[in-house]
Chain A
Amino acid sequence: MSFNKLLSEKKPAILKKWFDAILDTYPAETADFLKKQKDRFANPVGSTIYSGMDSLLNSLLNADDPDTISKYLDDIVRIRAVQDFTPSQSLAFVFKLKDAVREEMSGESNAGDFPGELIAFERRVDALALTAFDIYMKCREKIYDLKANELRNMTVKLVERANLIFEARYRDIDLKDLVLEGNKSERGE
């Protein structure tokens, strides 16, 4: 049996261990709720983290492209980045995947057959951690941006708009495309 095949077989157990590890960072009653409530709208944190981890595991197995992996990671890190954690606490969950994999594989008599594959897999997890750090910083910067710029947003985005409308009106040139662009940037497109 190949390493990947074994990993696929063990995936449900690995996912459960990995998910439990991240739940341990929440207060006990909260962890319980995050685990049990399956409705994704009644439990945005638990369901987003769970489905994010599930997708991440699949992506690691399929060796998906970095953008896809990054998207799933973003879903989880975006939440962790605004919760009561230090940066290390926020992101430690990534490394917990290594523990989960090793623990699940250790029971297998033939786990030792894949030292090379295991190391390669763990390197992918390390890369995942670095990506998580990038995302985490982007999220934190966004928070500070929002904080610093809200006053600006309430008025200055109008500058852009007003200016474009102004130019269209007073200079008699068609700047509608620019107006459209301004609106797009306001919607974050």
Chain B
Amino acid sequence: MAKFTAKPKDLIQIDFKNPKTGWMDTPVEIREHMFCHPAKAKELETVGFPNIHEWRPQDENWNLPEGWKETVLNGIKERLQKYRSFHVFMDICVRCGACADKCHFYLGTGDPKNMPVLRAELLRSIYRKYFTASGKILGKTAGARELTEDVLKEIWYYYYQCTECRRCSVFCPYGIDQAEITMIGRELTNLLGLQLGWIGGPVANCYMKGNHLGLEPHTIKSNIEMMLDDIETITGIRINPTFNRKGAEILFVTPSGDLFAMPGIYTAMGYLMLFHELGLDYTWSTYASEGGNFGFFSSNEMAKRLNSKIYAEAKRLGVKWVLGGECGHMWRVLHQYMDTWNGPADFLEVPKSPITGTVFDNAKSAKMTHISEFTADLIKHGKLKLDKSRNDHLKVTFHDSCNTARGMGMFEEPRYIIKNVCNHFYEMPENTIREKTFCCGSGTGLNASENMELRMRGGLPRANAVKYVHEQHGVNMLANVCAIDRATLSASMDYWVPGVGVAGISELVGNALVMEGEKERTADLRGETLPGKEGAE
């Protein structure tokens, strides 16, 4: 919506019914507030993206480079040869429709081209036309169509209305991974210089400075110092973490949003407090200062390139294993790609908790363990002293992040932690959590501000389930283990379910954690007075 275009004379004859045309005959309409701004030239230059040029999504002319069609078709050809999965996914869909109504964007927009099957057809139709005999001969009858500028725009528009959350894949009888199709679609448009600013910027920053935000080493230190000041105010304890320390047992890597954004910094305060209390022999790195990977939203090569610093830094510092913070897509990358891209990490050991002795066999090859696995294990072994009542002002529900849920199958650990640090925990309905979790609506670099309308549409199914537990149980805190969730669900809640805040799980752990030598706590990590401590000092 958002175009106030109806003229008075049209009002008289306006037809409120939707026109009924087939999808191929319904041309794409690029609408404001649905797309993100293009990347800046210098950002793309930094990482050597091709065909950098001036263009705006809302313009008729995208100034496409000469020979763009060949570039795309060659790009498809190359990827068909390189990725067997892509080739298979282009061929095997029987259009059964199981995925159609499982996408949060479709549920929120009602736009058929947001049905995963149809989103994939946008590209499949090109594949059929140029790479299959039936498509070449039969054309439209065989679901094939020419690659035109409008078709390219359509692919671009709708492939940035997919957050690669993979919910649809859970329901696909063939296991078609629509996220991989979107990834390829984005790679193809990137060949033409059609990158988003919200992806290009973080990618360039990450390449040059180690993290998406472009935080320099002394900035990271200064931001953490500020958190340490606050921790001291709240607990009376001064923590002294180390940076880039050679010989530490563990390297800790988290998304840079935790060091800068709200409410991510409270999650980071939770990490700092937990590690201090354990006396953990660990170090932060100002080089491997980003767990997230916006390269993953650009191309396979870019993701690999940005990911390489994690093992490189682990090797340089001589640590035994790597511990990772609360992030979503970071874990899909670490869990499913890092090892084959930049491994084998044979210079590392299988992660083993120095506190409990638990060996994390699930990370045998990648050598990197999730903070929730680590923390849940500590709680299970009774190694943490916890005062749940310090979270009594919170009625908590848990949003499974798409990638930790569907990308690594981590369902129980975060819940186990929450139940041990909070007295009030309520699950959202079964078909909106765990492997069926709904995306926040703003992942894969779509967490800009200019596309707010798209984000609200995509965020509706998740928010709808939050609204239910908010109304039923008075839930006022949406816990999660993802930096994009923390950055974007606040806006979604603000629109759909006012009265619900957003927090990382480690923040809740930090609240409950009884630390040795601490003063009586009167406030939580946000400085909010604890229940029953009003007037106490």
Contacts and interface: CB of A to CB of B under 8 A. Distances in A.
A164 B528 CA distance: 11
A165 B529 CA distance: 11
B14 A41 contact: no
B320 to A, nearest CB: 36
Contacts of A158: 262
Contacts of B6: 86-89
B18 A24 contact: yes
A28 B18 contact: yes
B17 to A, nearest CB: 5
Interface stretch (A2-10, A110-118, A172-180): A172-180
B468 interface: yes
Contact of B4 (A87, A154, A174): A87
Nearest to A89: B16
Contacts of A176: 522-523, 529, 534
B493 interface: yes
B449 A30 contact: no
Contacts of B60: none
A45 B107 contact: yes
B16 A25 contact: yes
A63 interface: no
Given A34-B110, A153-B262, A187-B500, A174 B431 contact: no
B233 A86 contact: no
A151 B452 CA distance: 13
Interface stretch (B71-79, B152-160, B174-182, B458-466): B458-466
A81 B2 CA distance: 8
Interface of B: 1-6, 11, 14, 16-18, 20, 31, 33, 100-101, 106-112, 230, 233, 261-262, 429, 431-432, 449-450, 452-453, 456-457, 460-461, 464-465, 468, 476, 487, 490-491, 493-496, 498-501, 522-523, 526-529, 534-535, 537
A174 B112 CA distance: 56
A86 B10 CA distance: 12
Interface stretch (A11-19, A126-134, A142-150): A142-150
Interface of A: 24-31, 33-34, 37, 39-45, 48, 78-79, 81-90, 92, 139-140, 142-144, 146-148, 150-151, 153-155, 157-158, 161, 164-165, 168-169, 174, 176-177, 179-180, 183, 186-189
B107 A43 contact: yes
22 contacts: A26-B110, A28-B18, A30-B110, A41-B432, A41-B465, A44-B107, A48-B464, A78-B496, A82-B108, A87-B1, A89-B14, A142-B495, A144-B452, A147-B452, A155-B262, A158-B262, A168-B527, A179-B523, A179-B529, A183-B527, A187-B499, A189-B498
B1 A28 contact: no
Contacts of A25: 16-18
Contacts of B16: 24-25, 89, 92
Contacts, number: 164
Given A30-B112, A147-B33, 9 more contacts: A40-B468, A41-B461, A44-B460, A143-B453, A153-B491, A154-B261, A157-B262, A165-B527, A186-B501
A146 B11 CA distance: 31
A146 B14 contact: no
B456 A188 contact: no
A42 B457 contact: no
| Highest count of chain B CB atoms <10 Å: which of A84, A87, A90, A161 | A84
Contact of A79 (B261, B460, B476): B460
B110 A146 contact: no
Contacts of B33: 143, 147
Contacts of B112: 27, 29-30
A143 B111 contact: no
B1 A83 contact: yes
Given A146-B495, A147-B449, A187-B501, A88 B461 contact: no
B453 A82 contact: yes
> What 7 A-B pairs come out closest when comparing CB atoms?
A188-B498, A44-B464, A30-B110, A147-B452, A150-B449, A187-B501, A176-B529
| Highest count of chain A CB atoms <10 Å: which of B101, B261, B450, B498 | B101
Given A27-B110, A146-B449, A180-B529, A84 B1 contact: yes
Nearest to B18: A27
B101 A43 contact: yes
Contact of B456 (A33, A82, A85, A154): A82
